[in-house]
Structure 1
C-alpha cells in the first residue's frame, strides 16, 4: 500500500489505526509515518482555515507493528493561533507525544528572505542510496534518493553535511500535503550515520519541523532537495538541522532533531 492509499484509508477522526506493513525502521516504524498519524488527528481538531506552522514530536518508545490509539485536544484557540497536543499509544503506553501550532496568515511589515536551495547536480548525475536488506531500513524502499553532498552511511567520514534529492517512488502522485512533507524531510538517514565506520542503530528522540506557507503546487513524486547538517554530537546524542526545497528551489520546511546514536 502506497502513501496516498494510506492517507485515504485513515479517517482523521479515527482513534484506532493499524500500523501498515513495509514501513519498519529497525524495531520501530518510520518516524515520518507515525508523526503523520498523529498530525492528522491533531489537525482534525483545528479550524480548517488555520495552517500548521510548527510541530514538535517526542518519540517516547518505538512504535511496533500492532495498532495504535491516537488522541488529540486543543489547548487554546485564539484569533490567529491555535495550539493542540496529541498522543499515540500502544498497549496502554504513550509511544509518541506531539505539540502543534496552527496559525492564520495576516499582514506583516516584517519579511525576511529564506535560504536558497543548494546547487546540487541533477538527480540522474548523483549516486543513488542503495537498499541493502538488514542494513538499510525497510521503509526506504518507498523513496528514491540521490546523494549530491556527503557520503554513504557507515563510511567513516568526518563531513557534517548530507544531502541531495528525494522523492516518493511508490505511486504517490497527489499534490504535496503536510503529510507528504513530514515523510519527505524525515526519509533521509540521520546525517550522523556516514560518520560511523560500521552499522549501528540511531533513532530520533525529539523532532521539530516548521512549514513555509503557501505550500508548493508540486507532486509528492517530484524531486525535492534536502540538506542536513550535524550541529553537535557527543555522549551518544546529536543535534541535526535540515531543510527541504521543492524542485523550483522554494524552501518548504525546516527540521531540527535530537538523535540518539548507539555506536
Structure 2
C-alpha cells in the first residue's frame, strides 16, 4: 500500500498501517501524524488551512489495522479545532490536537526573522542512504540530503542540522497531508552526538504552518534544526522549513527522549 493509499484510507476513519515505514520498533512518526491529520481533515465542517497540529506519540504504532477517532471540539466562522486519537486494539497509540483557520483580514504582518540558509543545490548532495537492517525502514521512502551537521551516532559536538528533504517516490499530488507526513523525517538532532546507537524517539511534536505547502510533488524542501536544550535524557529542538523559493512555510518543535 502506498502513502497516498494510506492517507486516503485514513480519511474513512480506519487504516491499515503498511510495513516498511518503521523507525525502530514503531512506525515513523511523520506517517502517524499524516494519517491522523487526514482523518481529522475529512471531518471538518468547512475546509480551512491547517495552522497547527500537536502530536503525542503515546505508544509504538505497529503495522496493521488502526482506527482514528475524531472529535470536532469547536467550529466557528473561521477557525475549527479538533482532536483525533489513533487506536490499535484497545490501546491509544497516538493523539493529535489540531487547529484549522481560514484567512482573515488583518493589519498585522511580521516577516520571519530567520532567513532560509544558504544551501548547496540539492542534487549536489548525496542523500542519506537506506541500508536494510542498519537504517530506519522509512528511509526507503524519504530522501534527506544533509548539508551541515552530523549523521546519527557520529560522535560530533554539534547539535544542529541543515539540508533538503522530499519523498523518494513523488506522490501523485502534494498537499497538507503529504507535508505533515514528510516534515518529521529528520533524525533527532542530538543523536549525532552519540558515539554508538541508542534508542531515541519523539514524545511530542508541534508543527505550525505559516504559508502555503501545496507544491509540485518532487519539490525539495529546505530544513534547519537546532537544539535549544538537552539534559537528563530529553532534548528540545526547534526547526524551520522553507519552500525552495525562500518562503518560510513551517515551524517544527519537538521534545525527544534519548537513552544514551
Say whether the fold is shared (TM-score over 0.5): yes
Q: Where in structure 2 are the equivalents of 1:40-119 lying within 5 Å? A: 40-114=38-112, 115-119=114-118
Contact 1:2–1:171 (8 Å) recurs in 2: no
Change (3 A) 1:35 1:181: same
Tell me the C-alpha RMSD between the 2 structures. 1.5
The answer to whether structure 1 residue 260 and structure 2 residue 257 are counterparts is: yes
- The whole-number CA distance in structure 2 between the counterparts of 1:161 and 1:11 is 34
1:67 match: secondary structure: strand
- The whole-number CA distance in structure 2 between the counterparts of 1:45 and 1:7 is 14
Contact 1:173–1:219 (8 Å) recurs in 2: no
- What's the TM-score, normalizing by structure 2? 0.94
The answer to whether structure 1 residue 222 and structure 2 residue 216 are counterparts is: no
Residue-pair matches, total: 259
Contact 2:14–2:68 (8 Å) recurs in 1: yes
Shift of 1:11: 5.2
Shift of 1:88: 0.3
Find the partner of 2:238 among 238, 241, 247.
Answer: 241
- Partner residue, 2:159: 160
2:64 match: secondary structure: coil
Q: Deviations over 1:76-105 (max 9, x none)?
A: 112222111110011211110110111111
- Partner residue, 1:191: 189
- The gaps in structure 1 that reach 5 residues or longer are none
Shift of 1:200: 1.3
- The whole-number CA distance in structure 1 between the counterparts of 2:5 and 2:65 is 17
- Partner residue, 2:31: 33
- Partner residue, 1:4: 4
Shift of 1:181: 1.1
Q: Deviations over 1:200-257 (max 9, x none)?
A: 12111001001123334x2232211111111111111101111111121111111100
- The whole-number CA distance in structure 1 between the counterparts of 2:7 and 2:159 is 34
- What's the TM-score, normalizing by structure 1? 0.93
Change (3 A) 1:246 1:17: same
Q: Deviations over 1:25-73 (max 9, x none)?
A: 1110011111111111111221343211001111000001121111111
- The whole-number CA distance in structure 1 between the counterparts of 2:64 and 2:254 is 26
Contact 2:36–2:68 (8 Å) recurs in 1: yes
- The gaps in structure 2 that reach 5 residues or longer are none
